[in-house]
Amino acid sequence: MSKPDLLLVAGLTPRVVEQLEKDFTLHRYCDAEDKSAFLKDVPAGIRFVATGGSAGCTREIIEALPDLEIISSFGVGYDAVDVDAAKEHDVRVTNTPDVLNDCVAEVAMALMLALAHRLPEADRYLRDGRWESEGSFPLTAELTGRKLGIIGLGRIGKTIARLAQAFQMQVVYHGRSEQPHQPYTYYSDPKTMARDVDWLLVIAPSTPETQGIVNRDVLEALGPEGRLVNVARGDLVDEEVLIEMLSSGGIAGAALDVFAQEPHVPEALRKLDNVVLLPHVGSATHKTRAAMGDLVVRNLRAHLKGDPLPTPVA
């Protein structure tokens, strides 16, 4: 019996590809130079798509595959998948939540610690021989006892909140609505929350409502002693205004794992000393990426067998 055809929209890990090849015949859209021509030439009857959070799945792809039934996306964020088009064509969409909560939360806390204690700067200070020639590194800040405002108290946000409490931080949050039975104070307005906190951390999904949520008003409210951390999506922060505020001392610093036009990071941002910058590695550990990949495959296999999907989003 022949294996069903699957369109591979994003280059996934060798582990995932190896598992997919056991059950599907893969058509590597991700490797095609002329993607429009590739879509026209794929076999009829493709029911399955595997993709990644950044590559997503466009309306063009969805409408080029009239028999498509499911899009399984690697990553918790699925904003690059045209969910409206998927719903119009009765296509299911899945993602890979929960398995990356701890990993992303660890990176968020690491970014906060690195920025507060200026660890990358201190490392360069030592390596450049300045400890010997200039003496002790300047004094820095700390997290203990500070107030943390979280934009987006979802699964990962709650995990970050618990870790922050271990540092005796006071946690408050903003989201679409107040969540019952949460021990943290809720703010309906991100600007008001930013005014009241020392740290502002962004871990909300990218939606039309959240894009640009950290704007000039919010950053000005955060103020010259405030620090920003973004481990969500780059488009939740007005990057141009952020660079301006960092350069002028409008806020004290920023720690970023995500950017507006990845993998491009503005030179003006890279030149600043009051930032810690990572190349979108929030979930990038062997254990977590393996678990995410396994969930991509589990969703596809479940649909193939007619079983309930483990992690549907649409």
At 265, list the tokens: 């990071």
DSSP H helices in the chain: 14-23, 35-41, 59-64, 83-88, 101-116, 119-127, 130-134, 155-166, 190-196, 216-222, 239-248, 267-270, 286-305
CATH code, residues 5-95+287-305 = 3.40.50.720
Give me the residues paired with residue 8 across strands: 50
Which pLDDT score is estimated for 146?
99
Spatial separation of the C-alpha atoms in residues 311 and 35, rounded to whole Å: 29
Spatial separation of the C-alpha atoms in residues 73 and 76, rounded to whole Å: 8
E-strand stretches of 179-267: 185-187, 199-202, 227-230, 253-256
What's the pLDDT tens digit per position in 262-279?
999 999 999 999 999 999
Which CA distances in Å does 221 have to 102, 163, 209, 216?
A: 30, 25, 20, 8
Catalytically annotated residue among 233, 289, 298, 303: 233
Domain 100-277 has CATH 3.40.50.720: yes
pLDDT > 70: percent of the chain: 100
At 269, list the tokens: 């941002």
Closest CA to 119 of 226, 253, 282: 253
Q: What is the pTM of this model?
A: 0.94
Checking phi first, is residue 168 left (phi over 0); if not, alpha (psi -120 to 50) or beta? Answer: left
Which pLDDT score is estimated for 287?
98
At residue 314 the predicted structure's pLDDT band, cuts being 50, 70 and 90, is: confident
Residues of the chain with CATH 3.40.50.720: 5-95+287-305, 100-277
What's the pLDDT tens digit per position in 54-63?
999 999 999 9
Which pLDDT score is estimated for 85?
98
Catalytically annotated residue among 89, 117, 216, 280: 280
Closest CA to 312 of 83, 7, 35: 83
88 among known catalytic residues: no
What's the pLDDT tens digit per position in 247-264?
999 999 999 999 999 999
280 among known catalytic residues: yes
Catalytically annotated residue among 209, 225, 240, 262: 262
264 among known catalytic residues: no
Spatial separation of the C-alpha atoms in residues 48 and 32, rounded to whole Å: 18
Spatial separation of the C-alpha atoms in residues 220 and 272, rounded to whole Å: 19
Spatial separation of the C-alpha atoms in residues 121 and 132, rounded to whole Å: 15
| Coil, strand or helix at 134 | helix
At 236, list the tokens: 């939740």
